[in-house]
Amino acid sequence: MAALGSLATLASAGVGLYAQNRALQQNAATQRAQAELTQKQEVARQQQLTLQQQADQRARGEQVARTVASVRARLASGGLSVDDGSAAVVTQGLKADAAAGQADSDALFRARLAAGRSSLLQPDGSLTTWLRAAPTFGNALRNLLD
């Protein structure tokens, strides 16, 4: 009879380990699915940021082109040569300001992309499975030895 009780304890421990293993597999599958969803959302967010950056860059380029054309037209109407002297300095200044604005926008874009990265140090929980199973296995072994 004592051996039958030990076998029942061992069988119970085996069923418990199997149930724990199945639950952990289901949790792992859920975590994988959630990680894939998170990754897809991150890719979509990065694509959105890239499109926004491109639209801002295009709008800034158009604004600079209109401003430079306007300044050149005003200077030309005043009788100044737009490629010489102070007129050239004004147009170069406008272009330099636009380049500085673009550099700031690029830095902000890179910071936004970097802020969305997930950590590479996220635990996967593989050791947790064994740590949770150890007491059950130990109890079964102790019951067999008694």
In whole angstroms, what is the distance from residue 19 CA to residue 137 CA? 13
Q: What are 23-54's pLDDT values in tens digits? A: 889 999 999 999 888 888 888 888 888 888 88
Say if 123 falls within a structural domain. Answer: no
Measured over the CA atoms of residue 105, residue 108, residue 113 and residue 116, the dihedral's sign is: negative
Say if 122 falls within a structural domain. Answer: no
Say if 121 falls within a structural domain. Answer: no
Say if 49 falls within a structural domain. Answer: yes
Residue 51 domain boundaries? 2-116+128-145
Q: What are 67-117's pLDDT values in tens digits? A: 888 887 887 787 777 777 777 777 788 788 888 888 888 888 787 777 765
Say if 24 falls within a structural domain. Answer: yes
How many domains in the chain?
1
